[in-house]
């Protein structure tokens, strides 16, 4: 059975008994008071209990489990160069590469004044640098399931001494089909361990997973299940499907948005929308699963630096993106999975800041809208948006370009007599049609061919071929004797 943690009143990081090196790193990060999930979870994790943590995204879940992990591993920290003195003692699993990289950056900043080593491994990049780092030894390993199993198979990662396991965004891992990989990884871990499961939503599948792999977990919830942040203003704009691109441009311009994430349901749609926004003067780029990991990281870094106005993304970016003071997100498509809506809009309004979640709704998306309202248990504010300048000229340009291409291809495939003339001198000197007619023999030539005697046929040789070549069958010359 699980119980629920109580909320400490007026909690501070000093009251948790954290090491001075950890408190120094926390202060350098600008943290003053713990968030509700941190205030509830840190004491429980420090006590060694299994945890089921539910909190809406952007509330500081990463610090709620990474800070107590560092505190618990500090007695085992050492400066030895031997890899055997630095086995993997804490494993943090995340569903996406971006989230793994984000968690790793936070862990590194929290533990930078300690001797603990941390590393992150995920797919899409070369394994060799990761393998070299693992061979040197790390105590805290952040990984995506697939790449971790690759390292286990290559014998560069040993999970036999893991004392603490964290399943971050566990519901997303199940949605992405990671359950078989999770089961393989869990079978490689010691049975005596502390397991922490954190997620923004608690589905029946998550509860079943927790009942299987967690021992008497303590449930920690700081917000109603599947709820959205109260500091995020949610507006749904009803527009025609063909006017959605123009609506995005209009919302960006009217609200003077210098940073916005625009979510699409498909990779092709994200790439197409990014190109259309670029043509309308919005600095944009797309991030999705078909782009290499280096391209995705470069796009994210440029977006964080403010060099890109609109980051067009699929749900691969809905988890783990921590953009400081992101003013708004736009749902170009309503998600097919209602829970993804919660994670999408959680990219704004983080750490207590305010934000806007703007969604575009076309008549063929009524089911998605109903599912979202059912999940968050409240109706959304639907407004009619009149697009002043719909982005239709792009379609017209593409149509005109296709027409020009078609005409050009027809010119290349048809005869020269069908080509339109260019210039007045061509019109004044028309080309004689005689040169474009197929060859027809003149009557006189045809008559001569009929009158001409047939060529004598060469008589067929009566000798076999071998005889002609001097072989067998040649008659012998006989000499008459007198």
Write down the pLDDT at residue 102.
Answer: 86
Q: What is the mean pLDDT of residues 469-478?
A: 54
Under the banding of pLDDT at 50, 70 and 90, the label for residue 480 is very low
Instruction: State how far the Cα of 476 lies from the Cα of 473, in Å rounded to an integer.
Output: 9
Write down the pLDDT at residue 192.
Answer: 93
Single out the residue of 56, 81, 412, 42 nearest to residue 232, CA to CA.
56
Whether 431 has a pLDDT exceeding 80, the answer reads no
> Is 190 in contact with 341 (CB distance < 8 Å)?
no
Claim: this prediction has a pTM higher than 0.75:
no
- DSSP, res 89: -
State pLDDT tens for residues 73-88: 999 999 999 999 999 9
Please give the domain boundaries of the chain with CATH numbers for all domains.
13-221 (3.40.50.300), 232-393 (3.40.50.300)
Q: What is the mean pLDDT of residues 144-171?
A: 94
Percent of the chain with pLDDT over 70: 73
Q: 293 or 405, which is more confident?
A: 293
Write down the pLDDT at residue 449.
Answer: 57
Per the DSSP assignment, residues forming a β-bridge with 52 are 197, 219
- The single residue listed with the structure tokens 């009143």 is 9
Extract the tokens encoding 391.
Answer: 């982005």
- DSSP, res 123: S
Write down the pLDDT at residue 151.
Answer: 96
Write down the pLDDT at residue 128.
Answer: 94
Q: Which residues of 85-122 are buried (b: 16+ CB within 10 A; e: fewer)?
A: ebbbbbbbbbbbbbbbbbbbebbbebbeebebbbbbbb
Instruction: State how far the Cα of 473 lies from the Cα of 478, in Å rounded to an integer.
Output: 15
Q: According to the per-residue pLDDT averaged within each range, which of 22-36, 182-196, 341-355, 400-414 is highest?
A: 182-196
Q: What is the mean pLDDT of residues 151-171?
A: 94
Per the DSSP assignment, residues forming a β-bridge with 92 are 142, 166
Query: Which of 45-54, 129-138, 416-425 is predicted with the least confidence, judged by mean pLDDT?
Result: 416-425
Largest CA distance in the chain: 150
What is the average pLDDT score of the chain?
80
Q: According to the per-residue pLDDT averaged within each range, which of 104-108, 222-226, 311-315, 335-339 is highest?
A: 104-108
Residues 6 or more apart whose Cβ sits within 8 Å of residue 318:
263, 340, 343, 344, 346, 347
State pLDDT tens for residues 271-314: 999 999 999 999 999 988 778 778 888 888 899 888 999 999 98
Q: What is the mean pLDDT of residues 328-341?
A: 90
Whether 395 has a pLDDT exceeding 50, the answer reads no
Write down the pLDDT at residue 413.
Answer: 44
Per the DSSP assignment, residues forming a β-bridge with 119 are 141
Torsion of CA 327, 332, 337, 343, to 10 degrees: -10
Q: What is the mean pLDDT of residues 97-123?
A: 92
Q: What is the mean pLDDT of residues 184-200?
A: 91
Whether 11 has a pLDDT exceeding 90, the answer reads no
Extract the tokens encoding 221.
Answer: 């919830």
- The single residue listed with the structure tokens 């049609």 is 433
Whether 99 has a pLDDT exceeding 90, the answer reads no
State pLDDT tens for residues 223-250: 655 566 677 889 999 999 899 999 999 9
Q: According to the per-residue pLDDT averaged within each range, which of 48-57, 73-82, 169-178, 207-216 is highest?
A: 73-82
Side-chain half-sphere of 34: how many Cα atoms within 13 Å?
28
The C-alpha angle with vertex 90 and arms to 113 and 165, in degrees rounded to 5, equals 140
Q: What is the mean pLDDT of residues 343-348?
A: 82
Write down the pLDDT at residue 107.
Answer: 96
Helix axes 20-28, 61-73, angle to 10 degrees: 150
Write down the pLDDT at residue 454.
Answer: 56
Single out the residue of 3, 88, 12, 83 nearest to residue 49, CA to CA.
3
Instruction: State how far the Cα of 185 lies from the Cα of 148, in Å rounded to an integer.
Output: 8
The C-alpha angle with vertex 449 and arms to 443 and 450, in degrees rounded to 5, equals 90
Instruction: State how far the Cα of 138 lies from the Cα of 76, in Å rounded to an integer.
Output: 12
């Amino acid at each position: 059975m699980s119980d629920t943690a109580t909320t400490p009143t007026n909690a501070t990081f000093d009251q948790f008994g954290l090491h001075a090196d950890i408190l120094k790193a926390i202060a350098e990060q600008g943290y003053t008071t713990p968030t509700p999930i941190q205030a509830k979870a840190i004491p429980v994790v420090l006590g060694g209990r299994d945890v089921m943590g539910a909190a809406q995204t952007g509330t500081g879940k990463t610090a709620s489990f990474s800070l107590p992990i560092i505190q618990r591993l500090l007695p085992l920290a050492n400066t030895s160069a031997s890899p055997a003195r630095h086995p993997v003692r804490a494993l943090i699993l995340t569903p996406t590469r971006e989230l793994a990289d984000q968690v790793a950056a936070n862990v590194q900043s929290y533990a930078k004044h300690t001797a603990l080593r941390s590393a992150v491994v995920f797919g899409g990049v070369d394994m060799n640098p990761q393998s070299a780092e693992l061979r040197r030894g790390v105590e805290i390993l952040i990984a995506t399931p697939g790449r971790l199993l690759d390292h286990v198979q290559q014998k560069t990662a040993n999970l036999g001494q893991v004392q603490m396991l964290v399943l971050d965004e566990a519901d997303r891992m199940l949605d992405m089909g990671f359950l078989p990989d999770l089961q393989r990884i869990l079978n490689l871990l010691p049975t005596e361990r502390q397991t922490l499961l954190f997620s923004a939503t608690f589905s029946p599948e998550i509860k079943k997973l927790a009942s299987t792999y967690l021992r008497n977990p303590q449930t920690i919830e700081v917000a109603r299940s599947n709820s959205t942040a109260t500091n995020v203003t949610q507006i749904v704009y009803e527009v025609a499907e063909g006017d959605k691109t123009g609506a995005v441009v209009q919302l960006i311009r009217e609200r003077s948005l210098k940073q916005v994430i625009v979510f699409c349901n498909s990779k092709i749609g994200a790439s197409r929308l990014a190109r259309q926004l670029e043509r309308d003067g919005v600095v944009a780029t797309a991030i999705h699963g078909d782009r290499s990991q280096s391209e995705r990281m470069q796009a994210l870094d440029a977006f964080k630096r403010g060099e890109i106005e609109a980051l067009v993304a699929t749900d691969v970016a809905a988890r783990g993106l921590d953009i400081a003071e992101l003013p708004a997100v736009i749902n170009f498509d309503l998600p097919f999975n209602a829970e993804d809506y919660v994670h999408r809009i959680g990219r704004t309004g983080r750490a207590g800041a305010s934000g806007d979640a703007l969604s575009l709704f076309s008549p063929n998306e009524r089911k998605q809208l109903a599912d979202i309202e059912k999940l968050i248990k409240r109706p959304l504010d639907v407004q009619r948006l009149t697009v002043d300048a719909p982005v239709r000229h792009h379609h017209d340009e593409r149509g005109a370009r296709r027409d020009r291409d078609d005409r050009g291809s027809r010119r290349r495939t048809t005869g020269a007599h069908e080509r339109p003339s260019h210039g007045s001198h061509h019109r004044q000197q028309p080309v004689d049609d005689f040169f474009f007619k197929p060859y027809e023999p003149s009557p006189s030539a045809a008559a001569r061919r009929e009158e001409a005697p047939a060529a004598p046929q060469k008589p067929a040789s009566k000798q076999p071929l071998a005889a002609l070549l001097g072989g067998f069958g040649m008659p012998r010359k006989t000499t008459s004797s007198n």
